[in-house]
A and B are shown apart, each in its own frame.
Chain A
Amino acid sequence: MRRLVKTTFGVGMTFGLALTAVVGVAQNKAFAAADWKPKKPVQFVVMAGKGGGADKAVRLIQSIIAKNKMAPYAFTPVNKPGGSGAEALVYMKQKNGDDHTIMFTLNSFYTTPLRQPGLGIDITTFTPIARMAEDTFLLWVNSDRKDINNIDDFVKAAKAKGKAWIMAGTGKNSEDNLLTDFLNKAYGLEMKYVPYKGGGKVAKQLAGNNADSTVNNPSEQLGFYEAGKTKALAAFTPKRLPLFPDAPTFKELGKDFVYFMQRTVVGAPGMSAGAAAYYQKLFTKVFNTPEWQKYRTKKSLQGDLLVGDGLMAYWKNEREVHRQMLIKMGVIKS
């Protein structure tokens, strides 16, 4: 087979390329595992579509790496948004043992394998690289609602409207849906959850008064918030967010509930130890660049850097948390 490959390849690129190639391979093999470096451009899979929050972060990271010449080759983003990340997860699983494929994940990293056991994905087989941030969630309403200024007003108004109260979110059984279910249960509401494609569209439904409330990330609502079109009532965080000092946490309001969206870099299952160490070091460097830190502040991102085993422990814990949430919602049985 090897021979056949070489011959056909030689036909294609006659002019010496094949020869250089063969010599090059011999040299490459000499590299020790400890100082592993990428040997070609690295594929950076995004578990979501172009233009979304995860995609923006990946393109920023890609540019930080390129601008500061942190790696010998480019990191090239590939979007695989299909099936709430199912497509990306299956793709990564097929890339078993590949040292040049990494992925940027969200919480669908936990929920999709739980909801679709048929995919045969075990996230603990994936190589933990680095958690770059955790995105936060807040409860938002339109500023035209002068009658709603705190959570009590909100509960009163939502109760009065019952099932006609529209909560817009990003897809059935998504993070937004989990939070809506929590609010419905915690305050005895019957809000109707209407899914839209992408957080930006959701934010716009609220600003245009086509929805009564949302649980957007700050980055999605920031534009409308700063223009005074929408306001934040409460935060799903342990502490108040610096950008929204007037929005109390649900903990302060007596409902002990905290929810984050991870923004984490994952390697293909079975990645070599040398490669994993390389990426962990690289993303630690990226994390500490002023560009990334500025982005974190601006988007009100939380969550410290987490690498290697610590990240794996975090995954196992979060997967359990999500399992319990999905069971409570009645989406899965066990």
Chain B
Amino acid sequence: MRIAELVMAIVMAIFSAYLMWKSAELPIGWIPDEGPGGGFWPFWLAAAMLASCLSIIYKWVRKTSPLSRSTEIFMDSEALKGFVLVAGSLLVTVGLFHYIGIYGALPLFLIFHIRFLGGHSWPFTGFMAVITPVITFLFFEIVLKITLPKGLTDEYFYPIFALFA
């Protein structure tokens, strides 16, 4: 926990500084007779973020905040494994949206979670992996008429759309 607290504060401090620098693309000062410039609001708020981070770091050095004294481990190996698998599978799935579309990626995601992480039976996994995209398609694309990303699978849907035309 102790290390994590410091790392997070430093990362966020850098991020705040980046936000300040980015905000400064627009006037950050007070324009006479008009009020604050376009960068004023985000710049000074980012400055407050930076100040908060510095105060967290200061407390860490002085060991005055509870987390800076915590000897508890931030994530044990078991927790880390779970986190990496779940977060990783999400990122991979969104990445796949670009290529094999939502209807290709979601079944893979469901199979991974229900079968491999959840340990449910193959027939049940298969059922979920089929029924979820089908319901999604019917509800979003047919009822609500929201087009979901299909990537390279786009043209395979022409005949399916033709069924509902």
- Give chain A's interface residues, CB within 8 Å of chain B: 1, 5, 8-9, 11-15, 17-18, 20-25, 27-28, 39-41, 43, 72-74, 76, 78, 163
Q: Say whether A21 contacts B145, CB under 8 Å.
A: no
Q: Say whether B158 contacts A24, CB under 8 Å.
A: yes
Q: Say whether B108 contacts A21, CB under 8 Å.
A: no
Tell me the dominant secondary structure on chain A's binding face.
helix
Q: Bound state CA distance, A132 and B103, in angstroms?
A: 37
- Give chain B's interface residues, CB within 8 Å of chain A: 33, 99-100, 103-104, 106-108, 111, 126, 129-130, 133-134, 141, 145-147, 152-162, 165
Residues of A within 8 A of B106 (CB): 12
Q: Say whether A39 contacts B161, CB under 8 Å.
A: yes
Q: Bound state CA distance, A21 and B137, in angstroms?
A: 15
Question: Other than the known A13-B133, A24-B159, what 18 A-B pairs have Cβ atoms closer than 8 Å?
Answer: A8-B100, A8-B108, A9-B100, A9-B153, A11-B107, A12-B103, A12-B133, A13-B134, A14-B126, A14-B130, A15-B130, A24-B162, A39-B155, A39-B158, A40-B157, A73-B165, A74-B145, A76-B145
A17's contact among B99, B100, B147, B160, by CB below 8 Å, is which?
B160
Residues of B within 8 A of A76 (CB): 145-147
Residues of A within 8 A of B33 (CB): 163
Q: Bound state CA distance, A164 and B58, in angstroms?
A: 49
On whether A9 and B104 interact (CB within 8 A), knowing A14-B130, A28-B155, the answer reads yes
Residues of A within 8 A of B134 (CB): 13
Residues of A within 8 A of B155 (CB): 25, 28, 39
Q: Say whether B165 contacts A72, CB under 8 Å.
A: yes
On whether A21 and B129 interact (CB within 8 A), knowing A12-B103, A12-B107, the answer reads no
Q: Bound state CA distance, A12 and B71, in angstroms?
A: 46
Residues of A within 8 A of B157 (CB): 21, 40
Q: Bound state CA distance, A74 and B143, in angstroms?
A: 11
CB distance from B105 to the nearest CB of A (A): 9
CB distance from B125 to the nearest CB of A (A): 11
Kindly report which residue of chain B lies nearest to residue A15, judged by CB atoms. Answer: B130
Q: Say whether B146 contacts A8, CB under 8 Å.
A: no
Residues of A within 8 A of B154 (CB): 40
On whether A8 and B104 interact (CB within 8 A), knowing A13-B134, A76-B145, the answer reads yes
Q: Say whether B108 contacts A41, CB under 8 Å.
A: no
Q: Bound state CA distance, A163 and B130, in angstroms?
A: 66
Q: Bound state CA distance, A72 and B158, in angstroms?
A: 12
Q: Bound state CA distance, A161 and B129, in angstroms?
A: 69
Q: Bound state CA distance, A12 and B156, in angstroms?
A: 13
Residues of B within 8 A of A13 (CB): 103, 107, 130, 133-134
